[in-house]
Structure 1
């Protein structure tokens, strides 16, 4: 082939070798079932078309003939695939229409489109004339605003109302502002309606009451520079006048700005080619931020309007963008110069970083034992830990105290999930420090607003569907990965403060701003390869599933026409001044600005436009501006930074006078906890009191004992926070009614694995659980065990809040005065004597591991994984009493007793403490054996004197 006289541009030696290699790989590899794109390269037809004129010899070989045949078959197959795909899409459309109707009927739901369709069908039916008459009687006139955003169905409804002679029907709209086709708006329905009206029924508003005269003149000049600025012969541009005073203007250092429409010409680094988009965008946003900082300098810019003058504020400035990605880049540039800003737009909360962060955090909350999920959560921007910090946790093999603290926090969040997602996120923001961490960084208000917005939507979904945390996670996953958007999911303003407004052009329609930047006016609409939708000559909307080239071209023309209308909306939002950026940037030639600025001067082709130097582009725009005093000016875009940092030196408004307090305010209200009392704070939310969360002085030996002969036992099970949390979680998930060995093994296996414990511990842990479930748990009823609990007679992890009247160390000591023997509870009395925390009132908060009812009496049960020794005899009553005293668990179960007593008083009409309260049971899990009813189970029942004393001295 190399000597056959083929065009070297199409058949160079390198191209031939590359194509041959691809075909060899295709024939020999597993991909041979798929068509090969290089078959055409060696097809006889293509080779014949590439023979040079000086060489008439066409290479001939059976291989080329076979390649031609394979290529023809491939094209035929692809045509069949396209036809099949079209058929599948049509079948899907029919199925969706039918299924959607059936599901709405099943749910008894109607949406807005259903109401429109119902009304349309009723008006077209035989009795439609009567219905139309009734509607005219009910509504004596119809004024349809924003009619350019209507659709054929709505127009047909109003057309029927207007059929009667003399019925006042006003269709109010501006087709130059029809920019919502993605929402179903159809400007062709407006044009079709207008085409049926005679001239004396047409009325035009020729006055712009938004913009100053100079700015209106500039916009007139720009859109009059092209005979068809909106690329649609049915939509023309008619110059208007301004309804504002000529004295209304933006003043720079006391002088009016003569040209309020400012074109910035983008300066390229390389004058021989168009600038690439990412580089251009980065420079543009920096220049815009710098210009805004300069305008906001004290004394620089003043707005003069209605005879009044005031300084330009950040809230007077709007930056109009086309996408939310552009909005983020602009906001980052403003933040770098300390300029306050807010985003307005139609972006959905589910496409934000915070939504994805929250999803990862909730996954870790749902399965706190899976350390990989926890690491992913901690690495999110919301949690704020660095990769080095998390790597240090991994290197420490879980022994890092900070890592252990995070484990406990997420286990606590998991326990709080029973109260719903709001409870989880509230504690995440407060107790995990997320709120303070987020607000301390740039853009923190935006992040916090998004987190709270997600929380609200999750709570709403949870309330409507009664979902659990896993269901809420699935719900959030679907919305993040899908395309869900409605009014409730639109991004909210992060602040009401005076700030620069960053808005999409679509959102800005109908609004006005004193000063506007349109930094991406040059950005042309992308030639998407998606749906091919266009209007036929009759004005009907057509979806071409075959995606024919001609129809794709028509769809592109309609897309370009809407881009021209979008530009018009952007450039007409300003009152006093508007900036826009133009230049030779990739894709800019397809922007409507090219038609307006260079009509008749440059061929609309990339090569011709790129050949212009930036100064030539500037000159052509200035020539347009020089045609009369039109209020348009052009200059090279200023450097990316002006060196200005915005400083808000404006004095805050004077606050109303306040009354003087006659007494100092109280600051002693707080949420107290058992752990807080022992740690010396007395307050602040604390995680569940799982064995090791008492005080730093109350510690356990975390060394792993040598396994006993004959295999691992529960005495060998690791100690510390992670092990204790794991055992608590197993009992939390057990269903005691009924409880068999298979259930125990399955639950224990799942929880052990989730918490990172090896399967070798399963026999020891399962055996311990079986012993605990079959142990005699109540002193007065030796035959009763936990496995005999009735369904619904127990509750795990019962959270409580008790109102406190007066909490102080001396109050706690007074509660136990004379109630416990000094000798038996010496360690506990020492702890009481050393209590030291601030006096307070408020609430006492805590969690009870298990509350159950048996024979009309209610019991408190707490699981303890404390290691007291390696033999059952180490868990006798004396040893456990000493541990209970030393660990202050005696105080813990007395507080739990007060909580349950207060609850039972409100739930049981004839409640009596002596009759209904059974007592507190503390189960030392390592010490429970099936043949010793005294080993590992500590039972006490606080006296009625204590309860009465606490209600008088402690509780409110």
Structure 2
């Protein structure tokens, strides 16, 4: 960016002002700190309303001119929805309606009466244009600017954008690996292989650095090539020096008082020392790699351990030891030097590959826009500022230096308020809204130091000081906990300011059996005096007690002794806040033991689950169906559920093995032809995966086993993975590419929003939520059981990322390749600071109660058993500053904290934790029933269908709204009581397989429709052999049906659509068609594709349709009048199976696969009439006729219903045969008067004036 703005020293010295959103002045840069629960989104939407009205700015702004930026897609949609609802409230208020929003009411009162009508129009316009509002994620904003202002930003117009850069990174890493590692000598290759294993291992260690583009190296490492050369030379010298000097060195060491722990006892002639020399001798004699580093370091001068009084030899006395120290130093430097080289090399290749493909990733959008703004060109920032004079940046605590540079480059550096205060066209506003106490996303690149730095450069600093979320006692407890420490967030730049509660908070009370007024309840877990309390045991005991307390709460609630303002406490009112899935699993097990259901919500990736790993085995088997080893691996997964005995049978039983191989080969073909999703669904169906997972989970009796086999969770993950695979398959070419992509995700997934674990159930369950996931949410009751369990800091990670103060006195992010002592301490300090912010987030989620657990867990270190509580956030707030801590000290610290504070209580976790389950009569998954609606409700505009009109109609044997694809098994036996010609009394086909015993139901109906949609009727002999196998594979129809189906389809196509017998019509009730088809030679086989339209979709507009009016109209023409449906206003939608033209007339045909009986007798005209009436197909073809009538009236200049409409055929496929004309074929042509009257009915304003005349004369006015 250009020159940085000077510090606002006045803002630094003064406390932030309390914010009044009604009077906040716009213009310049302003920071609004919004503590948890203080109405941040409410404030943003209120400021948005002011900007729409032009309140406090030169002129009103439109939705397209107000820039609102947040950091996730979900937050963007939520913000848009909240703003929409707020504008709706404002619109109602300015209409003169009563509202309950004091801010909007004040805005109305402050608006001059003469301007209120204009304000109303502005709100109306905003509601209509809100979908085009400038509400973006940071990446969405950058993409919009680079796209719309490509010329000003000097960006190539045809740049592509991708969310997934893993393919480019994959290639960059492998390119570097080949170039850097393949030429290495064996001894160096051994080091690289040991440290990283393979390219993916290198990426895992480098991932934090590759994502931190703004970080600088702490210091340049040795160049890898130079280091490798020095190491080779040192090795050659050591190989010469060791044989000459080993004996003298051994004698020298024996003369010294060596440390017994490292070298062994002197009385035994230092056996460990002898082993070290043997190892070095063996390396020299047989080894081709590097000498053992452990021995080199132990024998180095700086690492030599002597007993008290011993003197370390000088370099001149022990030159070989000095040589070993130099060699050990060079060997130890190999990893950091390689990492440094890899970081630079991979980053360069990564950028080159994207540039060559002209592709931008989310991070590229930021860097590209920042670079464009930083260029010596005023055009781009001026263009952005002109388009968006005001910007509101939400969740600003999650920003980073690059993101802040973008906004300061637009609103601060070049066009600050001071520069433009006399220029109304350029009066700009930058409002940054956030809470540094909730900055918990460092792992995503968020940088709290950027927030602090930005605050120093703002012109004004405000804060929201009233918590509207929590009860008064809950707020008081959190206030007290954090305000007792002089520096609660390990930074004077992040102070804790207590917040207030409104008067309404007094009504937020959870009435309990115990009448305990404390909202923040500390529960302390003591340790064993001798053995301490290890982390695993502590975690188990904490989970058990939390589950016991939840059981007590739910039991009391079921007995009417625990309830809030909205009713009794229920399971889903309770949240357990954890840090990761391991804590969640322990908690879920404890709840399961007590018969309490729970669901886990996290930001974890679905690719980190067991199901994801098992899916990889299944995919490999599907991709390689002849590989029996891959198939055995797939069968062994819990998803497919084969036991060891079944897999053994697979190995031994040739017939069984071939059957399974054939099944997977068929699935391989499904994947090849139709995609991965159909293949996986077919596999799930054939292996009964859904039933098995759900049944296995419910059948478990042991709580831990039940938790391990959580069927809903696993089924959700399976479906989620299948969707991700299907989505990715549209971008990649072939099975191998998809399989490679999937396996890469298992190794190094980026955890995008689409990959986050989904909620497996929406039942009334206790919610287990990660603290990160809980941010922004609220729960009536929260449990925070595990925050006192310290992270394992015994192993120092390399490389490390942390902040340090540079020469200019600013905080900068650095990466430390070597893992220095100072860097390690800084990194631990920053981790503790973020843990404190995580604790703040956790404790500000509950409305009424929070159970906070403290355990003094210890760890065995070199100097004994030591407490780890001082390394945790709660330990820090309690003032536990060292590892010498026992339970008494914790109790004392907690009592001092809570002295004379009613809002906080202290209890000890009992030695015998209550394990009683929730009584079965108090099942937390309550059975709810809906109340009866007593008031009249006006149904809004909607899209209806034929099925919706008939769903409440009960007639004969048919279920409401049933169609052939759903109730294909329904049989009509009316024809059996009639006199049927003898020649039709036998089945059409002999043998086991025929059209009458072909599969029934939805699958069969969809299959038969698909074939008729895909073939050319005029050349069915050619098309059927091609299309039948595909459709049969798609719908799982056994191959042995192909011959039967081929013959059947040909018979259907050649069946004449005429000569329908009417001799028995008098025995059938309801409307009977008196119209005969006009073309005796017509059959489907004569219809070419040029004369047919498949699946014609239509929408019929409705002003308002009532069942009484439609019934009256149908009754006038002899049709059934038993319809019952809610008033419909909007559209009536439908699809016509087949529309065709024959000799100048247009016909409708609908295929029915209904099974009416086991021989041709059952498909006589009378039986068909019963089916038509029972299913209300008559209404269906009347609606189809109206749709065709309207369509043709627009397309044919001289259209006439009688001349151009041929009628409607309902083709019952099981009964159609060229050998028995008329069977299975139902025909009708609704009267013209009916269609015209129905047309008027659907246009309500015409209906009442035209209905009578249309019925009487058959013509329209």
Q: Same fold (TM over 0.5)?
A: yes
Aligned ranges 1:387-786 → 2 under 5 Å: 387-394=644-651, 396-398=652-654, 406-417=660-671, 418-440=673-695, 441-442=697-698, 443-465=710-732, 467-527=733-793, 529-537=797-805, 538-586=810-858, 587-599=868-880, 603-605=881-883, 608-609=884-885, 612=886, 614=887, 616-636=889-909, 639=912, 641-645=914-918, 647-648=923-924, 650-654=926-930, 659=952, 661-665=954-958
2:374 is the counterpart of 1:96 = no
| Structure-1 separation of matches of 2:408 and 2:856 | 47
**For 2:756 and 2:509, how far apart are their aligned partners in 1?**
34
Do the aligned residues in 2 keep the contact of 1:806 with 1:953 (CA within 8 Å)? no
Deviation readout 1:208-265 (Å, 9 max, x if unpaired): 2222121222212221232222111211222222235234222222x54322212222
**Cα contact 1:4–1:58 (8 A) shared by 2:** no
Match of 1:319 in 2: 576
1:71 equivalent in alignment to 2:325: yes
Change (3 A) 1:15 1:229: farther
1:837 deviates by 8.1
Does residue 1:12 correspond to 2:264, yes or no?
Answer: yes
Residue number among 353, 357, 374 corresponding to 2:631 in the alignment: 374
2:944 match = none
Superposed CA offset, 1:801-858 (max 9, x none): xxx99999x9xxx9999999x9xx9xx946579997897784385999xx99xx9973
Q: Which deviates more from structure 2 when the two are superposed, residues 90-99 or residues 227-236?
A: 90-99
Where does residue 299 of structure 2 map in the other structure?
A: 43
Residue 541 (structure 1) shift: 2.0
Q: Distance in 2 between matches of 1:347 and 1:560?
A: 22
Q: Alignment partner of 1:226: what SS?
A: coil
Residue 335 of structure 1: how far off its partner (Å): 3.6
Task: Quote the residue 1:278 is aligned against.
Answer: 536
- 2:456 maps to which of 188, 195, 220: 195
CA contact (8 A) 1:815 1:949 kept: no
Partner of 1:536, secondary structure, is strand
Residue of structure 2 in register with 1:223 after alignment = 482
The alignment status of 1:843 with 2:1005, answered yes or no, reads yes
User: TM-score scaled by structure 1?
Assistant: 0.68
How has the CA–CA distance of structure 1 residues 251 and 32 changed in structure 2, closer, same or farther, with 3 Å as cutoff?
Answer: farther
**For 2:890 and 2:548, how far apart are their aligned partners in 1?**
23
| Conserved 8 A contact 2:994-2:1044 | no
Q: 1:301 to 1:158 in 2, by over 3 A?
A: farther
What TM-score comes out, normalization by structure 2 length? 0.52
Cα distance, 1:212–1:856 mapped onto 2, change above 3 Å: closer
Instruction: Find the aligned partners of 1:446 and 1:462 in 2 and give their Cα distance.
Output: 24
Q: Equivalent residue for 2:376?
A: 126
CA distance 1:815–1:80, change in 2 (3 Å)? farther
Which stretches in structure 1 are left out of the alignment for 5+ residues?
673-681, 684-803, 863-886, 912-944
Query: 2:1052 and 2:615 mapped to 1: Cα distance?
Result: 34
Query: 1:257-276 to 2 correspondence within 5 Å?
Result: 257-268=516-527, 270-276=528-534
- Tell me how far 1:195 sits from its aligned partner: 2.0
Aligned partner of 1:159 among 398, 402, 408 = 408
Q: Distance in 1 between matches of 2:567 and 2:446?
A: 40
Change (3 A) 1:238 1:80: same
Q: Offset at 1:535?
A: 2.4
RMSD, aligned α-carbons: 4.5
Cα–Cα, structure 1 residues 534 and 46, in superposed 2: closer, same or farther, change >3 Å?
closer
- The 8 Å contact of residues 533 and 555 in structure 1, kept in 2 or not, is answered as yes
Counterpart Cα distance in 2 of 1:123 and 1:56: 63
The answer to whether residue 506 in structure 2 is matched with residue 252 in structure 1 is: no
Residue 596 of structure 1 and its aligned partner are, at CA, apart by 1.1
Aligned partners of 2:354 and 2:360 also within 8 Å: no
- Say which is worse superposed, 43-52 or 341-350, in terms of deviation: 43-52
- How far the C-alpha of 1:180 sits from its partner, in A, is 1.0
Q: Aligned with 2:521: secondary structure?
A: strand
Equivalent residue number for residue 1110 of structure 2? none
SS at match of 1:252: coil
Q: What does residue 290 of structure 1 align with? A: 548
Q: Give secondary structure in 1 for the equivalent of 2:293.
A: coil
Give distance in 2, aligned partners of 1:493 and 1:265. 32
Unaligned ranges ≥5, structure 2: 1-252, 422-427, 699-709, 859-867, 934-950, 1027-1039, 1055-1082, 1093-1214, 1227-1261
1:139 is the counterpart of 2:388: yes
Displacement of 1:594: 1.0
CA contact 2:570–2:924 (8 Å) conserved in 1:
no
Distance 2:273 2:999 in 1: 82
Shift in Å, 1:381: 1.6
Indicate how the Cα distance of structure 1 residues 500 and 663 shifts in structure 2: closer, same or farther if over 3 A, else same: farther
1:185 aligns with 2:446: yes
Partner of 2:1022, secondary structure, is: strand
Q: CA deviation at 1:313?
A: 1.1
Q: Does the 8 Å CA contact 2:995/2:1048 hold for their aligned counterparts?
A: no
Aligned match of 2:1022: 858
Partners of 2:276 and 2:982 in 1: CA distance: 88
Superimposed CA distance per residue, residues 514-544 of structure 1 (whole angstroms, 9 cap, x where no aligned partner): 1111121113345450432222321222223
Distance 1:173 1:71 in 2: 52
State the Cα distance separating 1:643 from its structure 2 match: 0.9
42 and 321 in structure 1: CA distance in 2 versus 1, 3 angstrom threshold: closer
**CA–CA distance in structure 2, aligned partners of residues 542 and 638 of structure 1:** 47
Is the Cα contact below 8 Å between 2:264 and 2:273 reproduced in 1? no
Counterparts of 1:303 and 1:140, CA distance in 2: 52
Change (3 A) 1:665 1:118: same
Match of 1:363 in 2: 620
- When residues 126 and 830 of structure 1 are mapped into structure 2, their CA distance, relative to the original with a 3 A threshold, is closer
Distance, in Å, in 2 between the alignment partners of 1:15 and 1:623 is 58
Q: Deviations over 1:384-434 (max 9, x none)?
A: 23223323443x43356xx66645543442342222112112222333211
